Structure 1
Amino acid sequence: MEKTRSPKKKKESVLKKSAGVKAKNKNNDVSNDESVMTTKPSIVSTGHLVSVDYTGSLDNGEEFDSSRNNGPISFVVGSGHVIKGFDDAVRGMKVDETKKFKINKNDAYGDVNPQLMHKIPMDKLPEDIRRQVKEGGFLVMQSPTGQQIPAKVNSIKNNEITLDLNHPLAGKDLTFEITIRDISVPSKNELHSHDHEDHDHSHEEGECGDDCDCDDDSDDCCGGNCNCK
């Protein structure tokens, strides 16, 4: 007579998240185990870490940035590390999904702020810079925290230079074509890392500060003691 065998119980995937289920640790203490309970997201939502390929262009078709040059951008959705319009656009997307959309200036870098226009006497600039500076050109300035800030030369009149410290894309609507490359739930280390990254390179009024030195390695450096605040 054949022996009767008890049917084997089917193993449940450790990645499957069951409502109300809690895991025990080695000390038999009940605790939430995120490594067991969390599955990889299929759709982008707030709090997810996403990797995105992108190309950005202006209304005239001019391309101002692309991940072809810098690689995909990674950020935590809803963290404020990218402009609002970009953050909103990725929500609800899936891996390998592509989308093209336009962002109004109000959800990008805002309007041009007149308070970020600064006049500096030409004699405050080093002599070699005075010979090179031209209207429409840029000077690379450096804040007290070390952040490099591009300043556009708006005008040169009466031995005085007017610098525009607004973000170069301020006042402009932006068009992006993006593709989601990865979606994940960030670990605590990843959250900490992204909290300390400066994804948005725009700057606020007065960030340049007093005596802001420039990058000595830059040909367009404005030199020290620009007193642009």
Structure 2
Amino acid sequence: MRVELGRRVAIEYRVLLESGEEVDASPAGEPLWLICGLARAMPWNLELALVGLETGQSRSVTLPPEQAYGERVEEAVREVDPAMIPAEAHRLGAALIAEDGYGGRKVSRVVAVEPGRIVVDHNHPLAGRTLTFEVTVVEIGEMATAAEGTSGRSGP
């Protein structure tokens, strides 16, 4: 069986910066399940590169920022009313997670905290970076159902 759009796929992966520094990876023995082509877990262009692979096959894909997590947008760094943020997140580096309305999650980071003022960066942490994804297909599952395609559920 080969990976195709709409099929559930388990992958092991590493994400590297141009310097070769690893910035993300699947935990050992815990592959990431995704529905190929939904681009909820990984960038769309990476998921497209999985199409045609079989279990056990690997691929290395280098994506420029516009094909990965986008360019950094300075306007996405905004001052936020502290009352709009949970008290436990009133600290530098705190992650704020919001749903995007399509079943996906958007993570923002607190980048400045001052009395009466909090600044949040809504850019993806890897925005503006050229990234290399080293991916191995661990398992190929069935085609996702229509409900899974809209909910984002992607387990085996």
Same topology, TM > 0.5: yes
TM-score, normalised on structure 2?
A: 0.73
**Unaligned 5+ runs, structure 1:** 1-40, 200-229
The match for 2:54 among 69, 83, 94 is: 94
Counterpart position of 1:66: 25
The match for 2:75 among 103, 115, 118 is: 115
Matched position secondary structure for 2:27: helix
Per-residue deviation, residues 121-147 of structure 1 (Å, max 9, x unmatched): 7899899987xx4xxx412335488x6
Matched position secondary structure for 1:138: coil
Per-residue deviation, residues 183-215 of structure 1 (Å, max 9, x unmatched): 233253xx523531378xxxxxxxxxxxxxxxx
The answer on whether the counterparts of 1:138 and 1:150 sit within 8 Å (CA) in structure 2 is no
Which AA in structure 2 matches 1:172? R
- CA positional deviation for 1:152: 3.9
Identity across matched positions, percent? 22
Counterpart position of 1:197: 152
The answer on whether the counterparts of 1:75 and 1:194 sit within 8 Å (CA) in structure 2 is no
Q: 1: distance between equivalents of 2:124 and 2:68?
A: 10
The change in CA–CA distance for 1:143 and 1:93 in structure 2 (over 3 A counts) is closer
| Structure with the bigger percentage of strand | 2
Which AA in structure 2 matches 1:52? I
Matched position secondary structure for 1:85: helix
Which AA in structure 1 matches 2:93? F
Counterpart position of 2:123: 166
The answer on whether the counterparts of 1:95 and 1:180 sit within 8 Å (CA) in structure 2 is yes
Identify which of structures 1 and 2 has the higher relative contact order when contacts are C-alpha pairs closer than 8 Å and 6+ apart. Answer: 2
The match for 2:138 among 181, 200, 224 is: 181
Matched position secondary structure for 1:118: strand
Q: 2: distance between equivalents of 1:51 and 1:127?
A: 37
Per-residue deviation, residues 78-137 of structure 1 (Å, max 9, x unmatched): 23323112112111211101122211111111011223111247899899987xx4xxx4
Counterpart position of 2:94: 139
- CA positional deviation for 1:66: 1.1
The answer on whether the counterparts of 2:12 and 2:32 sit within 8 Å (CA) in structure 1 is yes
Q: 2: distance between equivalents of 1:110 and 1:159?
A: 31
The change in CA–CA distance for 1:152 and 1:63 in structure 2 (over 3 A counts) is farther
Per-residue deviation, residues 60-91 of structure 1 (Å, max 9, x unmatched): 22222111258212222223323112112111
Matched position secondary structure for 2:135: strand
Counterpart position of 1:149: 107
Q: 2: distance between equivalents of 1:127 and 1:142?
A: 14
Q: 2: distance between equivalents of 1:70 and 1:194?
A: 25
Counterpart position of 1:47: 6
